[in-house]
Chain A
């Protein structure tokens, strides 16, 4: 076919220029692909972190900040150590003892009916309940307060699991690696599933026991959570958590402190968030995107770098690549003025000549796209090889309520605990990125061809041929 022959002959004759144009486009496209892959990798890593906190399938979480502690209200619920005695809720005793409290100090309780109200809202697909608690065990030695030993304490996170909505909540994200998961019949049993890291550090296995609020729970399963998440250490049935847990010395029976919500679709998340905030004005309604904005650490910096600097750099390089392609194509057309003038004299219409030039540009665009995609893959692979693990610090409100003495008297606040995760990043090139790369390269090449074509369309054969003389 003459068209292809002419195209092939022309590109072969100006190989250097053709390679330059294709390479310029390839570099621009390759950078776009690499930046997109990096951005996607950071997004994925961030999603894993957030999913680890709230579980797969959770679009919105609802919690409630506890009210401030007022002095003398007896609502501090705390443990005081003074004069060798241990006072718990106003009752004091001395001697060796173990204090084991399962408390919801970071979140205020909500009644179970709140979850039912949320479930009735428009665009809400599923609602699950949870109790996010902390078990604090304090060992008080016999000689406490006698100038010797001090109490030692340790704590671990406990999650009350709602069996009716097992696809929501932190446990939904994990994989049972030993034993089994909860069954419906475990709803009122003293059984627990333990996080694999916690099990390893406390030498727990299936069949071991773990003490929660002075009650022995039998470990029935070990769960492994995705790397980079900060899951609870121990999972027990919601009903048992409600029975054993307290908030400000009051039982959590019939209560929950976390509601996990799935929206009907991703597009409905903002409206669901709004509706819940309207229903529960005093609640904290969080979505992964709102939590994402609180993520700090090198992950946040990398995300910003990829999104801001990376995006602008890609745009600048692409503009430069397009400009170079346009200039080189214009130069090539300029050198071929006599040729095109002759063809017009032979009876070629402008559109036939333009089709030839556009065809040449298209070939260069496709070549640029192919090479650019390869550069993108190589760039992503290089980033995976050399990039250090990212750290993500996420604030979660599961710390202690603190009482402070200030100039204006005592005050209390709920501290946030900062969880820092080390997250591996996997820059991966998606099909969408490849398609975008091809489109960009082809568009850039066709743009260059159009610029040259405009010149051809303006060309008068007599002017072109007069240049010969």
Chain B
């Protein structure tokens, strides 16, 4: 799915050049669940942004299914994001004036899907996250956990190949956190998604197949529990 080769993202801070991500080499296989841990400010979110095409590397290549995201035109990256990459954010980022159903539908608009088909998919997505009875509710009328479930539904309604989650349980209490992670795991298994999940929480990270660590912009693998083919 992904092949990152010597990927670096640098920012100019006054006279200094700061490397948020420094020469990262990383392969992410199809259907893999990779958790990324690390301290605040060490490049986890920057790595996620690069994987999602939200940002371009200063150097190196981010190969996504044979396409270098850093070299594509903005419209091509946007199209790729629309069709193949789902995002989940720590603060949910639901549109506050739209209902849960409309928020989910907003992810389908760039795909040119007709209104009937959109509604059908939205209904299915709401059902898959257990929010069918909250379709018409505004985000302000939902709990934190319900909002994150709506955000998950929004990310998954377009049947992406990749799900990128940036601290999805960061704003939730323990019970709700478990609920959300369980839901994510279920979706990962059922849909065969490739999932990259950034988290501070070790208990969440441990449920992933691989755990990577970002430390001062450099990436290393801490744990790999993927089944290896016999030699």
Contact = CB atoms under 8 A, between A and B. Distances in A.
Interface of A: 1-2, 5-6, 9-10, 12-13, 338-339, 342-349, 352, 460-462, 465-466, 468-469
26 contacts: A2-B102, A5-B98, A6-B106, A9-B97, A12-B97, A13-B97, A339-B95, A342-B87, A342-B89, A342-B93, A342-B95, A343-B95, A346-B82, A346-B87, A346-B154, A347-B78, A347-B81, A347-B111, A348-B109, A348-B110, A349-B75, A352-B109, A461-B54, A462-B54, A465-B93, A468-B89
B98 A9 contact: yes
B105 interface: yes
Nearest to B102: A5
Nearest to B93: A342
A468 B91 CA distance: 8
Interface of B: 45, 49, 52, 54-55, 75, 78-79, 81-83, 87, 89-91, 93, 95-98, 102, 105-107, 109-111, 115, 154
Contact of B96 (A2, A13, A460): A13
B110 A346 contact: yes
Contacts of B89: 342, 465, 468
What secondary structure prevails in chain A residues at the interface with B?
helix
Nearest to B55: A462
Contacts of A348: 78, 82, 106, 109-110
B109 A10 contact: no
A347 B110 contact: yes
A461 B105 CA distance: 20
A290 to B, nearest CB: 61
B109 A339 contact: no
A238 B86 CA distance: 94
Contacts of B111: 347
A469 B48 CA distance: 14
Contacts of B98: 5-6, 9
Nearest to B105: A2
Nearest to B99: A9
B152 to A, nearest CB: 13
A334 B154 CA distance: 24
A13 B90 CA distance: 24
Contact of A347 (B82, B91, B115): B82
B93 A468 contact: yes
5 tightest A-B contacts by CB?
Answer: A347-B82, A347-B110, A342-B93, A9-B97, A13-B97
